[in-house]
Amino acid sequence: MNWGYLASQLFQTALAIATAPLLLGWVSQCRAWLQNRSGPGVLQPYRVLFKLLQKDAVIAHNASWLFRLAPYVVFACMVLAVSIVPLVATDLPFALAADVIALVGLLALARVFMALAAMDVGTAFGSLGARREMLIACLAEPALLMVFFTPALISQSTELPVIVDQLAHRELRLYPSMAFAAVAFLMVLLAENARIPVDNPTTHLELTMVHEAMLLEYSARHLALMEWAHALKLMTYAAIGIALFAPWGIAAAGEWLMFPLAVGVLAAKLALGGAGLALLETVSAKMRIFRVPEFLGMAFMLAVLGMLTWILVQA
């Protein structure tokens, strides 16, 4: 057991857990600036989390053990997910445990627990949220798989570290197939992370909610864990996108000297990505829930086009 590798893994995990709310805060702050508001500051999610942790948990009379277990399961899944993606280093020990398909399965596990917990209390909004979330997930998974096909074909592997290695060391060329896959991935990211135009993360109107509707009955530490898991999920998806489409600057595990550079590059990429996400959210309007299948269908088509273009022209 290489202690250096293990230490790198723990470092990455701890860094991710600590800074995931910062990413969410940054995106909200950029949105506020774009909408000409002063915004609550990038540290607001931390304040919310610590406030929630101090409160007493209030749980419905008829909530079962599944309801209380789900936040821990979801949080644990997201922590594992963010440990697997190469954020600051490739070749981490946990990265062998899952390739992209297993990663998608892990995210699905978290989602199923969230949906079941939403149905547990028996309210209309919980069922609504669960149903919509599972629908979006159903349609996003084929698109996501197709998006992964193109990098997998290029680098002959579905392991994220191998993909990063292969893509980072190729000459800087313009790959149309990867461009298509990138747009498709962005669309899937918006759908899975409950961002506009698929779902509004700041809405207060219950009938427009998808993700928020599943969290309505949670309070205190349970809600804190769920929100933290949501932030970790966005960070995971961002990291997957960076690993597939902008993989330069990721260190190898054990190279401690490269870590500050890797962390800096990651921060820059995430800042840029967050600002881009905020811009996208500001210029788009949320769409009707039954337009979402078309949206995801388009993502699927783009991803398939990308893959076919690679098979045809090798570019």
Partner 1 sequence: MSPETVADFINLLASLLLLIAFAMLAQRRLLRLIHLFALQGFVLALNTTLVAATIGHTHLYFSALLTLVLKVLLLPWILHRLIDRLNVRWDVETQVNLSTIQLVGIVLVIIAFNLALPISQLAGTITRGTLGIAMASVLLSFLMMITRRKAIPQVIGFLAMENGLFFAATSATYGMPMVVELGIALDVLVGTLIFGVFFFQIRETFDSLDIHHLERLKDK
Partner 2 sequence: MLSLQIILAVAIYWIALGVAGLALRCTREAHARLFFSLGAAGSLVLAVAALPALSDWPQTLVLPLGLPDLPFHLRLDPLSAFFLLLLGAASTGVSLHSAGYFQKGGGGDIRLVCLQYHVFLAAMVMVLLADDGYLFMVAWESMALASYFLVTTDHRHAEIRSAGLLYLVVAHIGAVAILLCFGVLQLGTWDYTFAAMRDNALSPGWAGVAFLLALFGFGAKAGFLPVHVWLPEAHPAAPSPVSALMSGVMLKTAIYGLLRVSFDLLHLQIWWWGVVALSVGLLTAFYGVAFAAVQTDMKRLLAWSSIENIGIVLAGIGLTLTFHAYDMSLLSAFALAATLYHCLNHALFKSLLFLATGSVMHATRQRSLGKLGGLIRRMPWVAAMALIGTLAIAGLPPLNGFASEWMLLQAFLLTPGLPNSYLNMFVPVATAAVALVVALAGYVMVKFYGVVFLGLPREESLAEAHDAGAFERLGLGWLALWCVVLGVTPVFVVAALDPIAQMLVGATLRNMLGQSSWIFLTAIQPEHASYGPMVFLLVIVGVMAATFLVVRRFYHGRMRRSAPWDCGFLGLNARMQDSAEGFGQPIKQIFEPFFRIERHHPSPFDRAPRYASKLEDNLWYWLYLPIVRLAERLAGLVAVLHHGRIALYLVYSFVTLLLLLVLMT
The CA–CA distances, whole Å, from 58 to 67, 71, 85, 205 equal: 12, 14, 35, 22
Contact 33, 21 (CB under 8 A): no
Which does residue 315 bind out of partner 2, partner 1, none, counting CB within 5 to 8 angstroms by kind? Answer: partner 1
Angle at 77 between CA 75 and CA 80, to 5 degrees: 110
The radius of gyration of the chain's CA atoms, rounded to the nearest angstrom, is 19
Burial of 290 (0-12, 13-18, 19+ CB in 10 A): exposed
Phi-psi region of 58 (alpha: psi -120 to 50; beta: other; left: phi over 0): beta
- Contact set for partner 2, span 46-85 (CB under 8 A): 53-54, 56-66, 72-73, 75-77, 79-80, 83
Per CB under 8 A, the list member of 44, 157, 203, 208 interacting with partner 2 is 157
Contact 228, 71 (CB under 8 A): no
Tokens in use for 276? 């881009």
Per CB under 8 A, the list member of 158, 203, 208, 282 interacting with partner 2 is 158
Tell me if 102 contacts partner 2 by CB under 8 A.
yes
- Least distance between partner 1 and beta carbon 105 (Å): 25
- Least distance between partner 1 and beta carbon 175 (Å): 8
- Least distance between partner 1 and beta carbon 313 (Å): 4
Binding string, residues 272-301; x marks residues near partner 2 by CB under 8 A: ------------------x--x------x-
- Least distance between partner 1 and beta carbon 305 (Å): 6
Tell me if 208 contacts partner 2 by CB under 8 A.
no
- Least distance between partner 1 and beta carbon 289 (Å): 16
Which does residue 301 bind out of partner 2, partner 1, none, counting CB within 5 to 8 angstroms by kind? Answer: partner 1
Tell me if 105 contacts partner 2 by CB under 8 A.
yes
Which does residue 261 bind out of partner 2, partner 1, none, counting CB within 5 to 8 angstroms by kind? Answer: none
Which does residue 105 bind out of partner 1, partner 2, none, counting CB within 5 to 8 angstroms by kind? Answer: partner 2
Segment near partner 2 (CB under 8 A); pick from 139-147, 233-241, 250-258, 276-284: 139-147
Which does residue 66 bind out of partner 2, partner 1, none, counting CB within 5 to 8 angstroms by kind? Answer: partner 2
Identify any residues that bridge with 251 across adjacent strands, giving them in sequence order. 89
Per CB under 8 A, the list member of 6, 32, 48, 119 interacting with partner 2 is 119
Between 124-155 and 176-192, two packed helices, what is the crossing angle to 10 degrees?
A: 160
Rounded Cα–Cα distance for residues 189 and 256 (Å): 31
Burial 220-255, CB ≥16 within 10 A → b, else e: bbbbbbbbbbbbbbbbbbbbbbbbbbbbebbbbbbe
Among residues 237, 276, 238, 244, the alpha carbon closest in space to that of 178 is found at 244
Diameter of the chain measured on Cα atoms: 61
Tell me if 116 contacts partner 2 by CB under 8 A.
yes
Compare residues 127 and 282 and give the one whose CB is closer to partner 2.
127
Which does residue 34 bind out of partner 1, partner 2, none, counting CB within 5 to 8 angstroms by kind? Answer: none
Which does residue 287 bind out of partner 2, partner 1, none, counting CB within 5 to 8 angstroms by kind? Answer: none
Contact 56, 217 (CB under 8 A): no
Among residues 239, 247, 281, 297, the alpha carbon closest in space to that of 83 is found at 239
- Contact set with partner 1 (CB under 8 A): 171, 173-177, 179-180, 293-294, 297-298, 301-302, 304-305, 308-309, 311-315
Tell me if 149 contacts partner 2 by CB under 8 A.
yes
